Chains A and B, each alone.
Chain A
Amino acid sequence: MVKVSKSRGKGSVNVEIQGINEVLQRLQKNQKRIITSKNIELVRTANFIQNEVQESIIGNRAEPKSVDTGTLGNSIDIKLEGKESAVIFPKREKYKNSDTTTEDVAKFMEYGTTKMKNPRRHFGNTKDRNEKKVVNKFKQAVNLAIK
């Protein structure tokens, strides 16, 4: 609140701003709320994207699906890197009776090979489908935190 009053001196005005401490307290409280909310949303979003990649692999999205994909689908994991990012990746697991790993298969599926000319792009398609949704989720989380 700004209170303006005439001063006793000649040709001058006193301006008194009230409630600065309350505003600072509110901002500090909001900052804590926003950080907590952002951390929670990061984990939620990582889970959401993990689930979307798995759905893409098993064919529940309108895009190319992979065949015989239990091992690859189950290997999709989350790694939180610091407080700002989460990585969704295929955890390295060997297929039965083979030296091939889920990491290799994920790359082959994502980009194709000389023998597989139509890549499935499970990660790329998931990113394209959900990029704007993720941004909106974070915006909503911040808005809710400061309400």
Chain B
Amino acid sequence: MAFSSSTFLSDIVLFIRNDLRTNITDPISSKRNSREKFVMTAYPSRTVQYPIITVKNVGMNIVNRLGMQSEGVWQSVVIEVRVWARNEKERDELTQEVFEQFRTNQFGTGSSTDFELHDFNLLSAVPIDEDGEEGIKSRVMEYEYKIVIDS
């Protein structure tokens, strides 16, 4: 198992954050403040330079128990990946890049399945556009993965 059963939620969020950090190009990488990150695991509490991507766990539930006398479970984990961009074009481009990264990184070494995240599924992708030209345009994607916790 690539994650620990006692820290699986944070392990999964960090795996996804690192996957995006490594594979999605920051459109303003040359201008971004060195203390700021392009992909982070919480909504920013201080002023940041957009675009950014946030990764959070927003839900989980047990799909099945692994047997009457087993403490193991087949579980679903929902991860929210939110793209915060300066305009609709940038929002949609980053959304596509994130989706493509997850879709094409399901199998093989270093993939989601290699990390024991199975059954990749995009549950929803909702646009949240704040008013005005200066308003940040974001899209909230909810991805579901299935995991086995049995140790």
Contact = CB atoms under 8 A, between A and B. Distances in A.
B136 A114 contact: yes
Interface in A87-122: 100, 107-108, 110-115, 117, 121
A107 B138 CA distance: 11
B59 A113 contact: no
Contacts of A111: 82, 126, 128, 138, 140
Interface of B is mostly: strand
Contacts of B140: 111
B43 A128 contact: no
B61 interface: yes
A136 to B, nearest CB: 14
B33 to A, nearest CB: 17
B7 interface: no
A117 B84 CA distance: 13
B43 A117 contact: yes
A31 to B, nearest CB: 28
The bracket for how many chain A residues form the interface is 10 to 19
Nearest to B62: A132
B2 interface: no
B136 A113 contact: yes
B128 A108 contact: yes
Nearest to A112: B43
A117 B58 contact: no
B88 to A, nearest CB: 15
A124 interface: yes
Contacts of B43: 112, 117
Given A108-B128, A114-B84, 20 more contacts: A100-B131, A107-B126, A110-B126, A111-B82, A111-B126, A111-B140, A113-B128, A113-B130, A113-B138, A115-B130, A117-B43, A117-B44, A117-B45, A121-B58, A124-B58, A124-B59, A128-B59, A128-B61, A131-B61, A132-B61
Interface of A: 100, 107-108, 110-115, 117, 121, 124, 128, 131-132
